[in-house]
Structure 1
Amino acid sequence: MSPTGLATEAFSATVAPEGRHPPRRRLPASTRTAQILEAALQVFADKGYAAARIDDIAAAAGLSKGGIYTHFKSKEEIFEALLTRVLQPPGSAAVPWPEGRAVTPAVLVQRVIDPLYGSVTQPQGLAMLRLLLAEGERAPQAVDRWMAATLEPYHAELEALVRRGVAQGHLRDGVLAGSPRLLLAPLLHFLFDLLIQGDAVRDQAAQRRALHAALVVEQMAPR
């Protein structure tokens, strides 16, 4: 739903039998926050982080400036909330793999590779990635906090998953096992192509995923 549509639903009221409107009912805080973040992403994408103002976000969300400050203390806090909301890696970090289960190359594909390809082609994710690359240096503390709270735990979970597979004898103990982040390299290459070429490569997602999966199985299967 667009920010305008969300703003239209900001309050709901019905006509009382006497023909008078009862007090308007406020939206839940979670709904209002989502409305603000949706509007902020559009404003940041249109104007850039530096040029965007709280007033612009408020106007896009159909709120007063004070309404924004009810939920967020600053533009930087909004940017950080957007990073957390939109660029949340799916996969193994979200639902840890049970300790007793085998970690095979197929499990890495299922738990890590497939969920990432399912999320990176979403319009909001790509818009936020463009914004992060272009404007992230203008809000370094927000980016650092997001990385510490989101990316680093994800990488730690990935590394732990690979270590378990190696210890079980189901994964090869090689370069990729020593640096599990390299398992994501083909995806990052695809993301770069998406950000540069857009629709010209979007239809390649399934093919890229299949090639990435085949590479993981080929390189991580024990010999």
Structure 2
Amino acid sequence: MSKTLGWKKLPEDVRRESILSAAMRCFFSKGFEKTSVQDIADTAGLTKGGIYFHFESKEEIRDTLIRDFLDWNRFGFQDPEVLALPPHLRMKEFLERLANRLTIEGNCSPRLFAEATSNGGSMEKEIVSFYDSLENLFTETILEGQNAGSIVNHMSANLIARTVLAVFDGLQIQADISPSRRNLQTRGRDTLNSFFKNLLLNFDPTCENPN
């Protein structure tokens, strides 16, 4: 049995996920512009016709990937165990979840975001809305921490939120352009933790955390 015939026997959702996974590998290794539909087909192990059966274009594939990334529910920011944390620990958990879920196979999705929004791309509003929601969530949590006395208050909560997001995105950009910096889950996590504990908290992070 040929590989193509085997593919036809797979459930449609499995085929779609395999195409998306193959496209992501291609986009990260070659860049979106240099990736062809044939590249995606070869990586997925099927014909171009098999790609076009599920997606009209590589742009639709990219936009589908981004919408999957931006699904607010997948981050679990409103999970009861997260909301029960004091604000300074909640911020740490937000960043942990963001780092874990904005990556795939060691690569970071913001590169794809930038390509999708260049020249006023179709995904610009959705991506900007996602970052606005993140900034609002961080601002509210930081303000709560400031009021509780656990987070520094010599800067506005909104400015701290924007700074944290800038550090986070900067780490992702570094990870994307340099193989030696590619592991956001370890090196990036350590950098973010150090930044947050040493610059933003109102207590000695080596001591027991306040309630």
TM-score range (shorter-chain normalised) is 0.5 to 0.7
2:7 to 7, 10, 27: 10
Instruction: Tell me the equivalent position of 1:151.
Output: 131
Instruction: Tell me the equivalent position of 2:209.
Output: none
1:162 to 142, 147, 154: 142
Q: Give the number of the structure whose alpha-carbon radius of gyration is greater.
A: 1
Partners of 1:169 and 1:70 in 2: how far apart? 56
Partners of 2:90 and 2:63 in 1: how far apart? 32
2:201 maps to 1:183: no
Q: Which runs of 5+ in 2 are unaligned?
A: 205-211
2:91 maps to 1:94: no
Partners of 1:171 and 1:210 in 2: how far apart? 14
Instruction: Tell me the equivalent position of 1:59.
Output: 42
1:83 to 62, 66, 75: 66
CA contact (8 A) 1:103 1:168 kept: no
Specify which structure has the bigger relative contact order, considering alpha-carbon pairs within 8 angstroms and separated by 6 or more residues: 1
CA contact (8 A) 2:96 2:189 kept: no
CA contact (8 A) 2:107 2:182 kept: no
1:94-115 deviation line (CA, Å, top 9, x unaligned): 2316698564323322x22333
CA contact (8 A) 1:162 1:177 kept: yes
Identity, in percent, stands at: 21
Q: What is the number of equivalent residue pairs in this alignment?
A: 199
CA contact (8 A) 1:89 1:154 kept: no
Across the aligned residues of Structure 1 and Structure 2, the Cα RMSD in angstroms comes to 4.0
CA contact (8 A) 1:58 1:68 kept: yes
2:97 to 89, 96, 115: 115
CA contact (8 A) 1:89 1:116 kept: no
Partners of 1:192 and 1:48 in 2: how far apart? 14
Cα 1:198–1:105 change in 2 (3 A) is same
CA contact (8 A) 1:103 1:162 kept: no
What secondary structure is seen at the aligned counterpart in 2 of 1:50?
coil
Partners of 1:100 and 1:115 in 2: how far apart? 13
Partners of 2:180 and 2:73 in 1: how far apart? 23
Amino acid at match of 1:56: D
How far 1:89 moved relative to its partner?
A: 7.7
How far 1:134 moved relative to its partner?
A: 5.8
What secondary structure is seen at the aligned counterpart in 2 of 1:113?
helix
What secondary structure is seen at the aligned counterpart in 2 of 1:141?
coil
How far 1:79 moved relative to its partner?
A: 0.9
Q: Which runs of 5+ in 1 are unaligned?
A: 1-5, 12-25
Q: Decide which moves more: 158-167 or 27-36.
A: 158-167
Instruction: Tell me the equivalent position of 2:175.
Output: 194
Partners of 1:146 and 1:9 in 2: how far apart? 36
1:174-221 deviation line (CA, Å, top 9, x unaligned): 424133222233333333432343225746345424312313542699
What secondary structure is seen at the aligned counterpart in 1 of 2:56?
coil
CA contact (8 A) 1:7 1:61 kept: no
Partners of 1:96 and 1:208 in 2: how far apart? 25
Instruction: Tell me the equivalent position of 2:12.
Output: 29
